[in-house]
Structure 1
Amino acid sequence: MRRRRSLVAVSAVLGGVLMLSACNDGGGDKSQGSSEAGKSQAEVDAAAAKDASKARIAITPKDGSTNVPLNDGTNVAVSDGTLTKVELKSSDGAAVAGKIAADGKSWKPDAALKRSTKYALAATAKDESGKEAHENASFTTLSPENSFVGSFVPEEGETVGVGMPVSITFNKPIKDQKAVQAAISVSSSSGQEVVGHWFGNQRLDFRPEQYWQANSTVTLKLALQGVQGAPGIVGAQNKTVTFKVGRSQVSTVDVKAKTMTVTRDGQVLKTIPISAGSPENPTYNGQMVISEKFKETRMDGSTVGFKNSEGKGEYDIKDVPHAMRLSTSGTFIHGNYWGADSIFGKVNTSHGCVGLNDAQGANDPNQPGAWFFDNSLIGDVVTVVNSPDKTIKPDNGLNGWNMPWAEWKAGPSA
């Protein structure tokens, strides 16, 4: 699921600060068999939403927020249910201690958060019947008014796929982009030439001409301390980050054939039947990089412009299994337990995502959705071909590979 109408644009960096909404694949309840494939999309979405948890989780601050207060700026609340688990982690993986209230209705951290730090929060709740709901959010805390810092992915010590760019998001607009870029270097043990490209005035991505070489090491050096990014705004960050590139895995989704071929280090691992975007809501073409992974997450159509006549989301599935983000605008490749088995490999039914057959609860390792999730890294590439839609824009997610190398090196036009 993804975009289409009145999308919420969120910067695709530091991890994503990426919105957690997505698409819903149609097809019917598995228990009904292949006859469900004939149901309308609205009927399928309504049935799935009806069977979902009644618990409603609200996270403060909103996903993608910046300049979040260090004290009392973060909390979780739930209605029609109780919280069972809340995890808050900083970008370096450090867990933040917090407590769920005695009545199970709220959560907050035990102490103030760190300045200029990216955090990721994941919350789980259950309704009175025991059905789970999930909500996730990412945000960045405030920094001093007269300074700027960059949030970045990948992070120290990570192992990522060959398509993962170095993507830096600055917490303030950068006017002197030349000076700031000169204070940043990215190098690879492979010896590949690495070049930076600006998307707007707050995002700077680095990549080589072709994907990173498998099993190489990449080093990012930030020497921003004292660099003037804009009048009266100077850098406050010196940092060196090293990450590893793992095996080479590129998966090709053929929308027309309704299959996905997973290739690792030049050898085909598996061909998986899929259900991509419907003719009304086709999937983007192009090279897309997995930027986030969630064993289970909520997908609400209202957050990406899919609303019914009452203004509510056309779908609201709180336990979508094995979801992996491919774009800022809401394109995911994910498991689908509500679609009939017969749609996979046969019919494209989704709102733009790529759906794989899966089981509710995300606990069946034999399902295609679980297999692909377990065998994928953040930074792996999913290339979509033969879709009637256009090619995804390079800045919609971590998808700069869709820009020609000459254009990438030339930089944005004045």
Structure 2
Amino acid sequence: MRAGRNQLIRRTSGPALASRRRLTPVRAVASVLLAGALALTATACTGDGGKGGGPSFQGGSGGEETPKATAAITAPAADAKDVPASTEITFNSKDAVETTVEVKNAAGAAVKGKVGATGTWLPDKTLEYGTTYTATVTATGDDGKPATVTSNFTTMAKPSKQIRVTSFLGDGQTVGVGMPLIVKFDRAIPQDYRDDVQRRMTVQATPAQVGIWRWVSPTEVRYRPKTYWKANTKIFYKIQAGGLPMGGGWYGRSDLTVDLKTGPAVVMTVDNRTKKMTVKKDGKVIKTIPISLGKKSTPSSSGTMVVIEKLKKTVFDTSDDPNPANRYVTDIEYAQRLTWGGEFIHAAPWSVASQGRTNVSHGCVNMSTANASWLFNQTRVGDPIQVKGTERKLENGNGWTDWNMGWDDYVKGSAIPLEDTSPEPTTAPSAEPTATTTG
């Protein structure tokens, strides 16, 4: 049986810059971090030379007393005003075996932040508006003598035009292994700014897994790993949008963090040829269920979907369907939504005789009440289901169809090429790089 389209998911969940510009003269911090590898602390080694127009320390002219290393701050410019509160410090050093960055506010209090692998330092949270900060970069060579450079800058006044960032998921949730991370903006992000925004969107998965963000619209971006999340994965994602320029004089309103996990790997497969659903948990078949799919006039969609919502009791009301033959109002138990168009898994006691034999539904996956109740207690929002062999293909966008396309196609929706978001692994507890993306 197909529910009507009206049965939609009930979700719970500074002066402007004169023209388009990048946040810094150097591209922002590399977007994929490694779990357990290259811990990003306020220390980094660089060897880019003393390029750039910021303050630099070249050492003195006194023989052995002259430090071997040199350092320079390239952005923000010395004594810069109206700097976005999302700014990062970019720097370079030469002949250094260690480079450290320290940032303090006007009161002398240290600001927490991290150094990236590309000569950038990013604060852990948005800087205060209308505040002067001092950045100090110290490069130490193999002679043990430090070369230090210091620069001041002042952040812009709080902007009046701010964009709110929200997450569909919240702290403490446990979701299925096919659950995409969904982030929305309450105003469209121009194409030319999406890479800057994406670089501030970081996902950390334990155990580590490769993944990437994909823009599904100017106001929505989603993240999925290359394959389904591993069972019982811990996921933390952070959107450092506070004070970030987002085009047209608009700035991010605030940062956002979410901490959640996946449950066991429950994966459902429906085969139209056999009229059966196979349910696997952590790779092992735990049940095979007779089902009935959509009849020829109202076929079920073939493709990979995920459970969008779960309703123990609901009412399917299709009284607005243009075809009188498809109009009905029916009480339904153990409903699990798969598409926005109204395809569900649900109990259908009226079609038990057809289940495992022939298709009689309006597009839904019908099963007995006992089987539907059992399955309802096994699954979570985000658990994947693949339907195979029906007359109609699933349309991308009709539900959370992030898994209904190959990895290569999914990557094309990123504002940053995948190779730019995956630094070389060093030492990691897992063989795979972590799913972490400001890109």
Equivalent in the alignment of 2:402: 400
Residue of structure 1 equivalent to 2:293? 276
Instruction: State the SS of the aligned residue for 2:372.
Output: helix
Contact 2:213 2:414 (8 Å CA) reproduced: no
Partner of 2:99: none
What is the rounded CA distance, in whole Å, between the counterparts of 2:3 and 2:398 in structure 1?
A: 11
SS at match of 2:221: strand
Separation in 2, partners of 1:279, 1:170: 40
Mean CA deviation greater in 370-379 or 179-188: 179-188
For residues 7 and 162 of structure 2, the distance between their equivalents in structure 1, rounded to whole angstroms, comes to 25
The answer to whether the 8 Å contact 1:285/1:392 transfers is no
Whether the 8 Å CA contact 1:275–1:350 is kept in 2: the answer is yes
| Among 351, 354, 374, the residue aligned to 1:343 | 354
- What TM-score do the two structures reach when normalised by structure 2? 0.57
Would the alpha carbon gap of residues 405 and 256 (structure 1) be closer, same or farther in structure 2, given more than 3 Å must change?
A: same
Q: Deviations over 1:268-296 (max 9, x none)?
A: 11111111111111111111111111111
Q: Which residue of 2 aligns with 1:234?
A: 251
Residue of structure 1 in register with 2:374 after alignment:
371
- What SS class does the counterpart of residue 270 from structure 1 fall into? strand
For residues 344-389 of structure 1, give each alpha carbon's deviation from its aligned partner in whole angstroms, at most 9, with x where no partner exists. 112211111111112xxxxxxxx11111101111111111011121
Counterpart position of 1:390: 393
* Matched residue count: 268
CA displacement at 1:160 relative to structure 2: 1.1
CA contact (8 A) 1:301 1:307 kept: no
The residue aligned with 2:85 is: none
- Checking the alignment, whether the CA contact within 8 Å between 1:167 and 1:203 is kept in structure 2 is yes
**Which of 177, 180, 186 lines up with 1:162 in the alignment?**
177
Match among 316, 325, 334 for residue 329 of structure 2: 316
Aligned-partner Cα distance in 1 for 2:352–2:344: 20
CA distance in 2, matches of 1:184, 1:403: 22
Aligned with 2:166 (options 151, 154, 159): 151
In the alignment, the residues of structure 2 paired with residue 194 and residue 223 of structure 1 have an alpha-carbon distance, to the nearest angstrom, of 18
Whole-Å separation in 1 of the counterparts to 2:410 and 2:308: 20
- Listed one character per residue, the Cα deviations across residues 155-194 of structure 1 (whole Å, up to 9, x for unaligned) are 2111111111101122222213222222211121121122
1:99 is matched with which residue? none
Name the CA shift for 1:306/1:156 in 2 (closer, same or farther; >3 Å): farther
In percent, how many aligned pairs have the same letter?
33
Matched, 1:328 2:340: yes
Structure 1 residue aligned with 2:84: none
Asked if the contact 1:249/1:381 (under 8 Å) is kept, the reply is yes
Moved over 4 A (4+): 1-4, 7-10, 12-16
Highest Rg: 1 or 2? 2
Letter in 2 for 1:327: T
Deviations 1:94-130 (A, max 9, x none): xxxxxxxxxxxxxxxxxxxxxxxxxxxxxxxxxxxxx
SS of equivalent to 1:342? coil
Q: Which consecutive unaligned segments of at least 5 residues does structure 1 have?
A: 17-143, 359-366
Quickly say closer, same or farther: Cα 1:368–1:8, change in 2 above 3 A: closer
Alpha-carbon RMSD across the aligned residues, in angstroms, is 2.6
What is the rounded CA distance, in whole Å, between the counterparts of 1:241 and 1:208 in structure 2? 17
The answer as to whether partners of 1:282 and 1:352 remain within 8 angstroms in 2 is yes
Q: Provide the secondary structure at the position in 2 that maps to 1:407.
A: helix
| Deviation of the 1:391 alpha carbon | 3.3
Q: Distance in 2 between matches of 1:333 and 1:159?
A: 20
Unaligned 5+ segments in structure 2 are 14-158, 416-439
CA positional deviation for 1:390 = 1.2
Seen in structure 2, the aligned counterparts of structure 1 residues 302 and 173 have a Cα distance that, compared at 3 Å, is farther
The whole-number CA distance in structure 2 between the counterparts of 1:376 and 1:253 is: 15
* CA pair 192-340 structure 1, distance change in 2 beyond 3 A: closer
**In structure 2, what residue type is equivalent to 1:336?**
A
Equivalent pair of 2:351/2:360 in contact (CA under 8 Å): no
Question: Map of 1:113-262 to 2, 5 A cutoff?
Answer: 146-175=161-190, 176-262=193-279
CA distance in 2, matches of 1:327, 1:160: 18
Secondary structure in 2 matching 1:282: coil
The code of the aligned residue for 2:374 comes to W
- One-letter code of the match for 2:332? V
Map 1:12-27 onto structure 2 (within 5 A).
none
Given that 1:184 and 1:223 are in contact with CA atoms closer than 8 Å, whether structure 2 keeps it comes out as yes
The alignment status of 1:354 with 2:365, answered yes or no, reads: yes
- Residues 13/315 of structure 1: CA separation in 2 closer, same or farther (3 Å cut): closer
**CA-CA distance at 1:149 after TM superposition:** 2.1
Structure 1 SS opposite 2:362: coil
Tell me the secondary structure at the aligned position of residue 239 of structure 2: strand
Is 2:310–2:336's contact at 8 Å kept on the other side of the alignment? yes
What is the deviation of 1:240? Answer: 1.5
* 8 A contact 1:198–1:412 mirrored in 2: yes
Instruction: Say which SS state the counterpart of residue 192 (structure 1) adopts.
Output: coil
Q: Aligned letter for 2:333?
A: P
